[in-house]
Structure 1
Amino acid sequence: MDWAIPLSTQDLSKVTFEVQPTDSLNNRFRALLPVPTPAVLSLDDDLVIPCETLDFAYSIWQAAPQSLVGFTPRLVTWDGETAPGVVAGKKVTELEAGEGAGPGPGAAGSYRYLSSFKHVWWHGRYNMILTKCCFLHRDFLSLYFSSLTPEVLQYIDDRRNCEDIAMQFVVANHTRGAPPVWVQARFTDYGQKSGISQGEDHARERGACVGRLVKEFGSLCLTTTSHKAIDARRSWIW
């Protein structure tokens, strides 16, 4: 069932709510009705972002429609000194933080999901943009379900985690490495202190998820980049 709320706007736009038949994180990317615009804004309900900031991010997406464009960058690396699923809490090396980093055949170690923005700041690099707030092309919604096996979709459902990481792999694999784009801007995240990302096992579970997706896609196909977009009108110096 879907229903709409008319808005008091000149063009009589409306907001339509789609009610999914099942409770699944995968449904974040499942559109029940045709998407009328090329761009889709994926946004958590505990974020507040100024409209002018979204307008700027949308203009960046228009210049890079094959990328995920958003406000929350993260870094995934290979750590040869940890057992699978263990977070070591150390600074990774340049090799580990570099583009295409990963294990050789039979290498011991694990993929690490560095869950805090401080790791992006520390290394000056990132290879993911969380879908808690990002623009993406509407074609990626159907691509998500056509690219992932039922086993991976079930993996996500069972853990109630990892759908955003899966979308990173889907986009990177389809575009052959189109890098994500970080838009640096101020916004309010009410879930920052109490959301599931604050749990002790969060980083470990997401590192294991990265390993599962690497197995699915054959490699860590995420492209590491150091670029960021800043609205000069909001910056204190040109």
Structure 2
Amino acid sequence: MPFLLDDINLRTRDNYTAVIYVQIGAPLGPNNALYKLVKTITKSQFVDRIIVLWAADRPIPAKKRWPPTYHIPFHVISLGNSYQTKSVAAAASAAAALKGRGGGGGGEGGGGGAGADEIKRLDNDGALNGRSASQDKNHNNHNQNDKDDVKNIKPVHSPGGEMTTDNDADATDERPSISQRFYPYDEIQTDAVLSLDEDAILNTDELDFAYTVWRDFPDRIVGYPARAHFWDDSKNAWGYTSKWTNYYSIVLTGAAFYHRYYNYLYTNWLSLLLLKTVQQSSNCEDILMNFLVSHVTRKAPIKVTQRKGYKDRETGRSPWNDPDHFIQRQSCLNTFAAVFGYMPLIRSNMRLDPILYRDPVSNLRKKYRQIELVGS
């Protein structure tokens, strides 16, 4: 596996790619949770680039409405039924490249201007990392070779978020699957992936500390929101709980690091039944990723710091507020265990905090001072 590097005295590549999954798409502004999240990420000393996966019904906001990311490449990929990709170039070099094109027909089809507010597939020049036709062809050939090598590999999505027409899949369901947040996008060029929900509320110290922990445990999911599974004797089934207990077995991918290799396994290796369960419920993709990682490693995820809540409570229309959301997750847990043939989730009671965390010493001696200001 690519993250097992200790035996040859190598480490994972530096820095991480932040991938933000957007379902709600609330109006973007300085007080919006997504806006604040992007600003927070840009202050991280380890971030390589920021990718926003736009699965909301609302159109992608214009470039001018996003916070500046300065030298950090910033991309927005549409996962809607338009099957189009938009890259928002925040770097100065990207703006210069766009100006050099003279607003001409660089988009797919060759017609119209290439204005910053338009949504279209951009050529792969500089920081404008839309996919070119040759990249799409090479990626499709790669997926075809994978199908020939492993019989149960059944990709569900194309690089741009488009649904495939796999004969075994239900082609009538054109909803973008929530599993697209775990597609191995070409824009992800680092080993570490920081997976975030659009309403996550983490500070920069929390991001940097979690990344330093992940570098020591690159085969595991490392993050903040923890959940647990248990056996319910009264129902003769597995149960799922979000209560704060003395153990956990799941770290939600709404605020967590993992190795990008798991994107490939999730998309290409998992049973189609598992992926369809996630697509039909628009739920449980984070639980399925935990199943996958624990199945591969036989290890538990790792929770960091005291933070319990990680969601912005002012964000409306959140799927988490749906009363059926929790019931669906209970059902998913049992479906996944049945398909896997056993329960791969592993319990843990370990939590990692920074050195000198809440130690009565001078605050100036502490590296991650903001973490102590976070309420549990």
Provide the TM-score with structure 2 as the length reference.
Answer: 0.50
Unaligned runs of 5+ in 2: 1-53, 55-59, 80-160, 163-175, 362-376
Counterpart of 1:203 (choices 326, 337, 352) is 326
- Mapped contact 2:184–2:267 kept (Cα < 8 A): no
Which of 283, 300, 304 is matched with 1:161 structurally?
283
C-alpha displacement of 1:184: 1.7
Q: Give 1:172-191 correspondences, 5 Å limit.
A: 172-175=294-297, 177-186=298-307, 189-191=311-313
Q: 2:209 aligns with which of 56, 59, 63?
A: 56
Counterpart contact for 2:291–2:344, Cα < 8 Å: yes
What's the RMSD between the two structures over aligned residues?
A: 2.7
Give, in angstroms, the shift of residue 198 of structure 1.
Answer: 3.5
Give the deviation of 1:153 after TM superposition: 1.0
Q: TM-score, normalization: structure 1?
A: 0.77
- Evaluate the alpha carbon distance shift between residue 190 and residue 206 of structure 1 in structure 2; reply closer, same or farther with a 3 A threshold: same
Aligned to 1:230: 353
| Deviation of the 1:192 alpha carbon | 8.2
Q: Does 1:112 align with 2:239?
A: yes
Other structure's SS at 1:207 match? helix
Higher relative contact order (CA closer than 8 Å, sequence separation 6+): 1
Q: Distance in 1 between matches of 2:343 and 2:213?
A: 25
2:250 maps to 1:128: yes
Give the corresponding residue for 2:3: none
TM superposition shift of 1:189: 1.8
Of residues 179, 183, 191 in structure 2, which corresponds to 1:26?
179
The 1:151/1:70 distance shift into structure 2, 3 A limit, reads same
Q: Which of 196, 200, 203 is the matching residue for 1:47? A: 200
1:37 aligned residue (187, 190, 199): 190
Higher strand share: 1
Q: Which residue of 2 aligns with 1:149?
A: 271
Paired residue type of 2:73: K
Taking a change above 3 Å as real, the CA distance of residues 72 and 135 of structure 1, as seen in their structure-2 partners, is: same
**Counterpart in 2 of 1:15?**
74
Q: Does 1:217 align with 2:340?
A: yes
Q: Measure the CA separation in 2 of the matches of 1:74 and 1:193.
A: 22
Identity among equivalent pairs (%): 27
Aligned with 1:111: secondary structure? Answer: strand
With over 3 angstroms needed to count, the CA separation of the structure-2 counterparts of 1:155 and 1:185, relative to structure 1, is same
Give me the whole-angstrom Cα distance separating, in 1, the residues matched to 2:67 and 2:252. Answer: 30
Contact 1:70 1:134 in 2 (8 A): yes
Residue 18 of structure 2 is matched in structure 1 by none
